[in-house]
């Protein structure tokens, strides 16, 4: 293969191989190995093909010798023999069928065997003909769900990606830019800087007097898969994971003006222009033109706002929701920061579906400067995650006590992510729940139920006096399933009355609650819990994405539980 495959191409190949093996009934850990490897590669900044060819891909978490060999095979031959065989045995289109809620691998294969369905078009035809009932295991409710999903209008244009996926890639490109001697500053801009949960691409702003040097550095960077269109002051590139990055360049003297303009939002910038016009001024990415024709330029974004008589506004609040009026009055709130976070209580270990033991997770938490860490492994009903039985819970408590004695300097909390059952009850009885330091109650089943049914289940869980927080309340999985249509106003009202927190889950696939729901919760007086939902030591960084969502909702430090020590005792 003359061109090295990008990380996105490698990840796509391994993901597809795992998906096809799953359809063929391969053992679970083999399928997971491909899926985890694909996810790791997709989030890696440097060229994994180059690493594999040097025998260094195995240095990455989740990449073993078998996966490295397949990456080398793809890089050298342009294909993976195992993937070709799997494609020959199972229709590739069944992967999309299996991803629909209510279908899954077994029903997808059953649909193929019963009706010859090999992809979404075949499935749509079977639904239209009323033949889906002929597939074993597919009842009326599943047929309705499938019909609804197939009928949903897909958003046109480039797909959107989670900020948890886009942010690491943006940081990788920023590292390249900041390493160029001719670059004075390089910063994140656009919707990603504003903390939007989903973005189409990444915007970066660079202060430099030598745009050509920037373009040369990008062309030679291993983290860049392709250099796309560009101009004198702009350059677009594609990362190894397939994300488009737009880079705008300006002389240092106007860096602040461009950064403010490129951050947006469009509605915020329109309001800002209107404020300038009332003074007889105009504002653009090139500076502020005053009524006497002089142009004010700013190398610092804060000075742009100050020139208009405004306090600086955190990027996450720039959505034309009244923030300019607040800034004019000098009353912009100090939003919560990651530096103020003291710990995390929604973390998994290898007692359930985590991939590291508790001691390893604790050491990673200490390295992050945490004062406490809570293990919230799954409860017994979630069998696919090796959920803990009451007996295993008690044994884990003993292991936590023993670990706490060996590791001073951090408080290790006994927590649980307990399932909310179909009737709103919890997976553990009250006597056992009373023994935990923190109980996080989450929905993991019935995720196709109506909003009214799901709301009733969440309200019932909130009413349990042992529940301290509701985890990832809507149950959404970005790119896979939408969240439940919860009545967030009712839930927030009940949570505020009972002192129950609502979680912002930082897993890149979740980011749940989203910022709009979190804002409703804050307005009702609810406290937020920001969590990583970590399953590996590296995943602890996911909490940073939850903090960004909390900031976008307008959360101040006093409204986020994790900024306090000992809150679990209240």
Q: pLDDT at position 51, please?
A: 94
Span 409-423, average pLDDT = 96
Q: How far is CA 561 from its chain centroid?
A: 20
Tens of pLDDT, residues 485-500: 999 999 999 999 999 9
CATH among 3.40.630.30, 3.30.210.10, 2.40.340.10, 2.40.50.180 for 261-328 = 3.30.210.10
At 152, the pLDDT band (50, 70, 90 cuts) reads: low
Tens of pLDDT, residues 227-277: 998 888 999 999 998 899 999 999 999 999 999 999 999 999 999 999 999
Span 516-533, average pLDDT = 98
Q: Are 484 and 516 in contact (CB under 8 A)?
A: no
Is the per-residue pLDDT at 197 higher than 90?
A: yes
Span 333-350, average pLDDT = 97
For 459-567, strand residue ranges (E) read 469-471, 501-505, 528-531
Q: pLDDT at position 99, please?
A: 84
Q: Which CATH superfamily is domain 7-89 in?
A: DNA polymerase beta, N-terminal domain-like (1.10.150.110)
Q: pLDDT at position 2, please?
A: 54
Q: Distance (Å, rounded) from C-alpha 88 to C-alpha 544?
A: 43
Q: Are 80 and 73 in contact (CB under 8 A)?
A: yes
Compute the Cα dihedral for 289, 292, 293, 295 and give only its sign. negative
CATH entry 3.20.20.140 includes domain 338-569 = yes
The whole-chain average pLDDT of the chain stands at 93
Architecture per CATH, domain 161-250, reads as: 2-Layer Sandwich (3.30)
Is the per-residue pLDDT at 398 higher than 80?
A: yes
- The domain locations on the chain are 7-89, 94-151, 161-250, 261-328, 338-569
Span 97-107, average pLDDT = 85
Q: Is 7-89's fold the same as 338-569's?
A: no
CATH topology assigned to domain 94-151: DNA polymerase; domain 1 (1.10.150)
pTM: 0.87
At 158, the pLDDT band (50, 70, 90 cuts) reads: low
- If you write DSSP's letter for every residue of 318-385 in order, what string do you get? -SSSSHHHHHHTT-------GGG--EEEEE--TTTT-SS-HHHHHHHHHHTT-SEEEEEEEBTT-GGG
Higher-confidence position of 370 and 115: 370
């Amino acid at each position: 293969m003359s061109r090295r495959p990008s990380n996105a191409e490698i990840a796509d190949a391994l993901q597809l191989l795992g998906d096809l093996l799953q359809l063929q009934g391969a053992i679970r850990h083999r399928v997971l190995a491909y899926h985890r490897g694909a996810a790791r590669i997709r989030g890696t900044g440097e060229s994994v093909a180059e690493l594999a060819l040097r025998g260094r891909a195995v240095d990455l978490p989740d990449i073993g010798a078998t996966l490295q060999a397949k990456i080398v095979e793809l890089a050298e031959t342009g294909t993976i023999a195992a993937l070709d065989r799997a494609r020959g045995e199972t229709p590739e289109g069944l992967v999309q069928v299996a991803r629909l809620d209510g279908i899954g691998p077994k029903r997808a294969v059953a649909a193929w065997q019963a009706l010859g369905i090999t992809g979404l078009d075949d499935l749509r035809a079977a639904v239209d003909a009323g033949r889906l009932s002929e597939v074993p295991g597919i009842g009326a409710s599943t047929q309705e769900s499938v019909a609804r999903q197939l009928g949903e209008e897909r958003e046109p244009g480039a797909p959107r990606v989670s900020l948890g996926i886009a942010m690491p890639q943006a940081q990788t490109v920023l590292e390249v830019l900041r390493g160029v001697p001719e670059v004075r500053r390089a910063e994140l801009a656009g919707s990603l800087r504003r903390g939007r949960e989903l973005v189409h691409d990444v915007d970066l702003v660079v202060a430099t007097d030598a745009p050509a040097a920037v373009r040369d550095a990008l062309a030679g960077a291993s983290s860049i898969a392709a250099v796309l269109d560009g101009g004198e002051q702009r350059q677009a590139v594609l990362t190894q994971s397939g994300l488009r990055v737009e880079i705008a360049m300006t002389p240092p003297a106007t860096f602040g003006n461009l950064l403010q303009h490129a951050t947006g939002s469009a509605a915020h910038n329109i309001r800002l222009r209107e404020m300038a016009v009332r003074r007889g001024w105009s504002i653009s990415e090139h500076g502020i033109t005053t009524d006497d024709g002089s142009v004010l330029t700013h190398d610092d974004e804060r000075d742009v706002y100050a020139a208009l008589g405004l306090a600086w506004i955190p990027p996450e609040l720039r959505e034309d929701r009244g923030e300019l009026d607040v800034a004019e009055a000098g009353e912009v709130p100090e939003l919560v920061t990651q530096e103020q976070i003291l710990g995390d209580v929604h973390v998994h270990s290898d007692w359930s579906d985590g991939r590291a033991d508790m001691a390893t997770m604790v050491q990673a938490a200490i390295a992050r400067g945490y004062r406490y860490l809570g293990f919230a492994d799954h409860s017994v009903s979630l069998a696919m995650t090796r959920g803990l039985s009451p007996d295993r819970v008690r044994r884990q408590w003993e292991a936590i006590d023993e670990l706490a004695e060996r590791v001073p300097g951090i408080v290790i909390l006994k927590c649980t992510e307990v399932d909310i059952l179909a009737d709103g009850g919890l997976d553990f009885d009250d006597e056992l729940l009373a023994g935990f330091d923190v109980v996080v109650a989450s929905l993991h089943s019935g995720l196709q139920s109506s909003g009214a049914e799901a709301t009733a289940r969440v309200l019932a869980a909130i009413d349990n006096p042992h529940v301290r927080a509701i985890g990832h309340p809507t149950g959404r999985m970005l790119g896979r399933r939408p969240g439940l249509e919860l009545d967030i106003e009712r839930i927030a009202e009940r949570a505020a009355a009972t002192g129950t927190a609502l979680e912002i889950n930082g897993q890149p696939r979740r980011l749940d609650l989203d910022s709009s729901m979190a804002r409703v919760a804050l307005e009702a007086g609810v406290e937020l819990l920001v969590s990583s939902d970590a399953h590996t030591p590296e995943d602890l960084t996911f909490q940073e994405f939850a903090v960004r969502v909390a900031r976008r909702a307008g959360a101040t430090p006093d409204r986020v539980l994790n900024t306090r020590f000992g809150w679990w005792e209240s």
